[in-house]
Amino acid sequence: MNHLAKVPDSWHSGIPSIDQDHQNIFDIINYCWQQDHAHDLSQCGCFEHFIKCLAEHFLHEENHMKESRYPDYESHKNHHQNMLKKLEEKKSALKAGENLLAFCNSILFDDMVKTDLHYNNYLLKKGLIPA
Ligand SMILES: [Fe+2]
Ligand SMILES: [Fe+2]
């Protein structure tokens, strides 16, 4: 698949399947931006799709964390739940023509960069992924 924009290497978790999820979700946002749907992600179905893919990704990531005995698993999972709650709240209080692009970007950034990179550090320290 051709990516419209690539997730920067410095944001990679080091786990190929998780990084692929992040790229796929990033692609949803970029696709909408390219199609000029950015002003109304809810109308084109992209917002629903974004939420669905993100929820699947969170489960995937949580399973991975459990398997690798990540000590911050519970707090990371809670953080995921809070993000999904924020998305559901946004969905039920959408204003006509509201631009969701920045909102979706900030949610994805919050996952990939603010929290997942801690998991990456743990995996590196434990020697579970190559440095
Ligand atoms: Fe995460
Ligand atoms: Fe993630």
Number of domains in the chain: 1
Rounded Cα distance between 1 and 91, Å, is 29
Tell me, yes or no, whether 12 lies in a domain.
Answer: no
Other C-beta atoms lying within 10 Å of the C-beta of residue 22 = 22
> Does residue 129 form part of some domain?
no
Q: Residue 3: inside a domain, yes or no?
A: no
Domain with 85 in it: 17-122
**131 in a domain, yes or no?**
no
pLDDT of residue 29: 86
94 domain residue, yes or no? yes
Q: How far is the CA of 99 from the centre of ligand 2 (A)?
A: 23
CATH (domain of 75): 1.20.120.50
Give the Å distance between the CA of 35 and the centre of ligand 2. Answer: 25
Ligand nearest to the CA of 57: 2
Q: How confident is the model over 82-112, as pLDDT tens digits?
A: 999 999 999 888 877 777 888 999 999 999 9
- Of the chain, the end-to-end C-alpha distance in Å amounts to 27
Question: Whole-prediction pTM value?
Answer: 0.90
Ligand 1 geometric centre to CA of 2 (Å) = 24
